[in-house]
Each structure stands twice: as structure tokens, then as C-alpha cells.
Amino acid sequence: MITEFLILAVSLAALLYAADNLIETVVSLATRMGMSTMAVGLTVVAIGTSLPEVMASAAAAWKGHPDIAVGNVVGSNICNIGLILGLPALVVPVTCHRAVLRREGLLMILASIVMLVLAVFGGMSRATGLLFLFGFGWFIYQVFRKTKSNERETSSAENTSDEDAPGSLWTALRSAGFLGLLLLSSEFLVRSTVSLATDLGVSETVIAITVIALGTSLPELSVSYAAAKRKQGDILVGNILGSNIANILLVLGLSAVISPFAIAPATLYFDIPAMLLLAFVMVAFLWRERGVDRPAGLVLLSLYAAVIVRCVLYSAA
């Protein structure tokens, strides 16, 4: 057990170090490439921090455990909003541009509604999974199309010379390295946490509902903490919106392509509606001038805690 505690401590330290440096490098890379920090948060950082969900859910679907795949997606999205947006808001108010909420915020809500409707009418088929993957590809294309448009508008004002290319390449390599460390440290952190929970006699059901969903969201949590500390609200919100969209369209879509599945009644009647409720609350708070302030952060954290308590009580029943 001492070994697990040491692995957990080292992994957590590595996770926070990687996240802090990743924010610095992606902001630098965005500036060099003419991309907005929001675009970077919605794509590069969001997809990168969603890789644990991709790997965990794909493996679960491949091994014939769709409940784990779906629970991981829904639990991670709930965690992203309730915990990962709620915690930084206790330290500094989180705001973003309303245009982002009209586009990506609306897409997150629509994707959640579609997931709920599909759950009611029988679950995810391979065809549905392919449509989800196509939708995710369209989302990424739209983000980069807007970025390229903005880049053309500013190209006359700022001319990036060829001699900046080596610096941009080095920044990109550093970003990839820190992202790799982020994913590796989160993997060891999840393993050590699950091992500790098992040693302490916590049921595997509780671990799956709480620890795994939280564990695969740790990259988002660490990135959001670092973004809040640096007052990079666009990256923080972009990371959460992009990750939630990726979890539904990419992770769930890929899982359905691997192995079609129905959605469990408990997930249908409580977990997905809870995810949808939190999505509405997040957009409503961010729409205000003051954004997600401390009281709003406490509301989000309370909703997240209520979901976790319900999951634990349900599994114990």
C-alpha cells in the first residue's frame, strides 16, 4: 500500500507540472500560428486531455463492457462541469465570449440531448457511432476553418518570417511532450487510486462510477487549474466544452463502432439527465457578465457531489 501512495504522490506532482507547462507552450504556439487560445483549448488541449476517456471506453467496448464505456463518458462530462469548472471558480471568476456559448455550448447541449434520445430508443448502433464520428470531424473542421479565417485577416498586420519556424517546431514538440507526460501521469494516478481503493475494501462498482470517471478527467482538471492560475479563461472553458463534445461524439461514437450497445436504465433515467442539467447550468452561468463566480462554483460543486452521493447510495442498495 505504501508503494501505491508513493506512485500516487509522484503521479500527481507530474500531472500538475505537465499541465502548468502545457498551458504556457500552447499559448505560445497559438500566438505563433495565429490561432486563438479558445481554438487551441477546443481542439488540441481538449482532444489531448480526452485521450484517457478514448482509451478506457474503447477498451471497455472491445471487451464487452459497454456500461463502463458509457459510464466513463457520462461521469467524465459531469465531472468536467461540476468539479473542473466549479473548483477554479472558487479562486477566480471564469468568463468566456458569448459567441463560444452560441456555438460550442449549444453543440454540447445538442449532443447531450441526442444521446438521451438514442438511449430512450434503444441505444447506439454502428451507424449511429459513425454519424457521431462524422459530427466530431465536422466540429474540428469548423474550429480550424474559423482559425484560418482569422489568420488571413491578421496576416497583413503580422508577417511571420521563416526564421520563426524552428521556434514554432520546438514549441510544438514541447507541447507534445508535456501532453504525453500529462496522459502518462494520469494513467499511473488512476491505477494507483484503483489499487488503493481495492486494498481499502471499496466496491468495484463505486470505483467505476467515481474513481475511474474522475481519474480520466484528471488531465482536464489539471489543465483547468493551470489555466485559472494564469487567468486563461478561454483555454479553461474551451477545454471543458471541447472535452465534453469529444467525449460524446468521439468516445461514444468510437465505442459504438467497436461494439453496438444499449444504455442501462440507471444511466438513462438519472445519469444522462444529470449530465444534461449540468450542461444547461454551465451555459447559463457563463452567459452572465460575471460568468462562473464563487457562488456559481459552489452550486456546480454541490450538484457534482449530489450525483456522486446518489451513485454510491445506488450501488450500495
* Angle between helix 233-246 and helix 126-155 axes, rounded to 10 deg: 150
Q: Is 143 exposed, middle or buried (0-12, 13-18, 19+ CB in 10 A)?
A: buried
For the chain, which residues make up each domain, given as ranges?
2-153+164-316
- All residue ranges of the chain with pLDDT < 50 are 154, 156-158, 160-161, 163, 205
- Residue 160's pLDDT is 47
- Residue 31's pLDDT is 66
Question: Dihedral (C-alpha) 207, 236, 99, 300: value to the nearest 10 degrees?
Answer: 50
Q: Are 37 and 235 in contact (CB under 8 A)?
A: yes
Residues composing the chain:
317
Q: How far apart are CA 91 and CA 39, in angstroms?
A: 24
Q: How far apart are CA 37 and CA 18, in angstroms?
A: 18
pTM of the model: 0.78
Q: How far apart are CA 249 and CA 188, in angstroms?
A: 26
Q: Of 192, 184, 208, give the one whose Cα is nearest residue 1.
A: 192
Q: How far apart are CA 291 and CA 105, in angstroms?
A: 14
- Residue 205's pLDDT is 44
Q: How far apart are CA 177 and CA 173, in angstroms?
A: 6
Q: Of 295, 311, 292, give the one whose Cα is nearest residue 240.
A: 292
Cell digits for 146? Answer: 474559423
- Residue 161's pLDDT is 45
- Residue 50's pLDDT is 76
- Residue 147's pLDDT is 66
Q: How far apart are CA 308 and CA 185, in angstroms?
A: 24
- For 10, residues 6+ apart whose C-beta sits below 8 A from its C-beta are 188
Compute CA distances 55 → 58, 72, 229, 252, 289, whole Å. Answer: 5, 11, 29, 11, 38
CATH class of 2-153+164-316: mainly alpha
- Residue 206's pLDDT is 62
Q: Are 185 and 18 in contact (CB under 8 A)?
A: yes
